[in-house]
Amino acid sequence: MTLPALSHTDSPFPGSAADAAVLVVPDLEAFPDALDALPGLKDVLQAIGFTGAASSFARVHAPEVTSLPFAVVGAGKNADAASVRDAAGTALRSLTGFADVALAVAAPLDEFAPAAAEGAVYGGYRFDGYRAKPGKSRAESVTVHSASITAADIERARVLGDALALVKDLVSVPAEWQSPADLAQSAVDAVADLDVSVDVLDEQMLAEQGFGGVLGVAQGSDRPPRVVHLDYSPAGATTHIALVGKGITFDTGGLSLKPAASMVGMKFDMAGSATVLAALRAIAELKLPVRVTAWMCITDNMPSGSATRPGDVLRMLDGQTVEVLNTDAEGRLVLADGLVSASRENPDVIFDVATLTGAILVALGHRHTGVMGDDDAVAEYLAAAESADELAWALPLPEYMEDSLESPIADMINANMGDRSGGSMFAGLFLRRFVGRTGEAEDAPRIPWVHLDIAGSSEHAGSPYGFTDKGATGATVRSLVAFAEARAKEA
């Protein structure tokens, strides 16, 4: 990955050390005095018709401001942290070919300087990967000019930028170079310098312990599965957040084979595991006083003579049995084992994160994350997502749909082959059956649980916008960190 180094200063903008300069401005009609501190710039912008509309970008010649190559980017009429973050991201994506960039926000936006720092580091990310010739270079370093920003703001932006970059890097690796064992090793390496313990369960350990969902999905592949357990347990932690991530390193659909076009991009199907890894690492780097554990459930889903067949029955980690009617509904099978594992640690709340259903794209499109689960925990997550300016939408888990999970020979089926309606909610209801109870009694409440379906939000296929490039997005990482930060403040 390439990610710009980030620093801040309260010295005059843009300074002499930079190669180029960027200024984030609000809508100039809504904020007519925004550029009073920069004589002549408003006239220059009016001459080229630049109004400061959200994420508008222009290179300008403004010798009264600076002799450096100079660009302005708009934050719009209703400028806020989200629009400033997107504006800075747009600028760092667009202003290529300069190693060191000075970034500032116009006076009315100064309170949003921390968001500008975030946007700059997000927008400065680039995955060159396997090109024979690298693309146009983005900034190697960004200095934010503001008296309102602190070293803690810069550190938080750096940590979040690294977290999103980790997801994007892992998701972008072709499946040929990312086996379950490879992804497990990447997890070990990602937290090697942090106070995080890691256990990697191989196929023999999974069989001994009864991970029937993971093993059932894995048995068609010649690359054995892994389950990675990470544990960040700082002294004095007063709350425990558990994360479970779907990690299908490549999904053919198994014997319920996907059409050719639908199989393209299925290296992305491990984004849930990458997300929980990145969120835990960011929380540990920020030294938040909350315990966070993560379960990465990693395997291929391949067709072969040894693959699980439609109609086979799998016994999951908690002893419940599942009749597999569709081997392409495999994510919920590995997550089921992960949810059981997470529940056994008695956390205060469990999240699972998965590129789970195509139905969520039909329901919510490509930018909203589907959110299901316990009402109070869902509301708490949605508040965190709103504070992080990530799009999320709650969906119900209707009790009347429970009957559709029934199997004539097992405890449940994994897919409703006779009715495709409400597919995301069916999957959520399936997963809920594997969330543990808060006590020994059968009628004890379930552990608070939130299911995040990122099948739409984890990948952007259209033109870049804000700090979001085409490709992996890192969706929900910032919201999960914000959730942990809120829990830490409560404590």
In angstroms, the CA 295 to CA 472 distance is 21
42 is in an annotated binding site: no
Whole-angstrom Cα Rg for the chain: 24
**DSSP state for residue 177 in the 8-state scheme:** G
269 is in an annotated binding site: yes
Which is the catalytic residue, given 93, 168, 281, 332? 332
Active site residue 332: yes
Contact between 302 and 258 under an 8 Å Cβ cutoff? The reply is: no
In angstroms, the CA 477 to CA 276 distance is 7
Beta-strand runs (E) in 10-62? 20-25, 57-60
**DSSP state for residue 321 in the 8-state scheme:** E
Contact between 477 and 278 under an 8 Å Cβ cutoff? The reply is: yes
Report the SS3 class of residue 25: strand
Q: How many CA atoms lie within 13 A of 125 on its CB side?
A: 32
10 is in an annotated binding site: no
Active site residue 258: yes
406 is in an annotated binding site: no
Question: Could you tell me the CA-to-CA distances from 133 to 127, 250, 285, 344, 354 in Å, in that order?
Answer: 12, 27, 34, 49, 34
Contact between 345 and 240 under an 8 Å Cβ cutoff? The reply is: yes
246 is in an annotated binding site: yes
In angstroms, the CA 413 to CA 14 distance is 62
In angstroms, the CA 191 to CA 282 distance is 10
Which is the catalytic residue, given 258, 367, 437, 446? 258
Catalytic (active-site) positions:
258, 332
> Known binding site: residues?
246, 251, 269, 328, 330
> Known binding site for Mn(2+): residues?
246, 251, 269, 328, 330
